[in-house]
Amino acid sequence: MTDATKNVYHRTYPISWEQLHRDARALSWRLHEMGPWQGIIAITRGGLVPAAIIARELEIRLVDTICIASYAGRDQGEIQVLKPTSGDGTGWLLVDDLVDTGKTARLVRKMVPKAHFATIYAKPAGRPLVDTFMTEVSQDTWILFPWDSEIQFVQPIVERNNT
């Protein structure tokens, strides 16, 4: 973690698999009312799991991807488009796990401007770029997704403060 990253994230919000599944299903309820949808475009990699859950809940069988690389650990760098998609997005859901600074969101919005952009989590800087989201978190919070973590022993607070 760089010094710049340490200054940006003051909180951590861990998400369990169960919570992610509940939140993605809740997002599906909202999106169901707006459909029907032609298909889903998942923004990889973070949007893959939410897109799979939403596809199942809405009985959507046509799933595409836009492959973007923008993070190295907690550091957001230059965005690389590894695989674009075709069309303008009409009738499609564009799904990601999170909208953070809005860098990725701005890029994919240009690629598929008519898609309905849905994320599970949204931070204030990126929130205006999505059409539908479930939960807003503060900009200084690092969301710890279940695919980025594992369960392990943690020292009691008393012992951590003495070291």
Among residues 55, 76, 56, which one has the least CA distance to residue 64?
Answer: 55
Q: Which of 3, 75, 88, 96 is catalytic?
A: 96
Q: What are phi and psi of 42, to 5 degrees?
A: -90, 135
Active site residue 88: no
Q: Is the dihedral of CA 40, 29, 48, 112 positive or negative?
A: positive
Q: Which of 64, 100, 140, 148 is catalytic?
A: 100
Q: Which of 3, 23, 97, 140 is catalytic?
A: 97
Active site residue 75: no
Gyration radius of the chain over CA positions: 17
Active site residue 3: no
Active site residues: 96-97, 100
